[in-house]
Amino acid sequence: MVIEDEQVLAGTVVNYLGRAGFDARAVHTGPDGVDAALEWRPDVVVLDLGLPGLDGMEVCRRLRTFSTCYVIMLTARVEEEDTLEGLAAGADDYMSKPFSVRELVARVEAQLRRPRAPGLAADRVFGDLVIDPVSRQVRVGQLLVELTATEFDLLDALSSQPRLAHSRRQLIDAVWGSHWGGDEHLVDVHIGNLRRKLGDSAADPLYVTTVRGHGYRMGQGA
């Protein structure tokens, strides 16, 4: 689903996605986007930041109350704070306007190709944290933790090789795909969101430890 108020641009994106084999539809306001997502249950949402009715940040927050779809945010803003705010709201990826529609289609395809770990039936347990890679459910104690698809995929990548110190590039390759060429610090934002939901702390980690100058690994800090 494409939520974009520039109707010509939205039509172009839908047309390119259709040529690539996707069932793509467009809506042009924030409220219509939330309503359409509830009805259509899309796998991927291409979401403009500057929308009438509700801006893209609020639309993304509302999407995250009922959907784990992949969200690619489009923004004409260049400030880093706006990009970080969009990712914190639950976006998986972002592109700055103007952008290549072909690259956008490639990023949609990359989201849907994101690898899953096959045949791993056993839960992964780290203290109170229990990760079920088959059902894609996460619990801390008795509490079910609602993660976005990207947050779960990062946790899945880390927990599948818990002794490995993963670089940001390795996590990008595992979660977004090896052809993704955006800012690698995108990983840091999603790790921050993941830690907050798990009740974890960067200063005194229980589950996700920062490996200074490199990236992250699963497990308590030294």
Better-predicted residue by pLDDT, 140 or 178: 140
Q: What is the mean pLDDT of the chain?
A: 87
Instruction: Answer yes or no: is 119 within a domain.
Output: no
C-alpha 118/C-alpha 178 separation (Å) is 19
Give 144-184 pLDDT, tens digit per residue: 999 988 999 999 999 988 878 999 999 998 888 877 777 78
Do 88 and 152 lie in one domain? The reply is no
Do 98 and 183 lie in one domain? The reply is no
Do 80 and 153 lie in one domain? The reply is no
User: Do residues 145 and 178 make contact, with C-beta atoms less than 8 angstroms apart?
Assistant: no
| Sequential DSSP letters for 133-173 | TTTTEEEETTEEE---HHHHHHHHHHHHSTTS-EEHHHHHH
Do 132 and 72 lie in one domain? The reply is no
Please give the tally of structural domains in the chain.
2
Q: Which domain holds residue 130?
A: 124-218
Tell if the pTM clears 0.85, that is, is over it. no
Q: Which pLDDT score, from 0 to 100, does residue 119 have?
A: 40
Kindly report the backbone phi and psi dihedral angles of residue 134, in degrees, each rounded to the nearest multiple of 5, phi listed first: -80, -50
Do 105 and 175 lie in one domain? The reply is no
Mean of the pLDDT values across residues 128-142? 88
Instruction: Answer yes or no: is 209 within a domain.
Output: yes
Q: Which pLDDT score, from 0 to 100, does residue 160 have?
A: 85
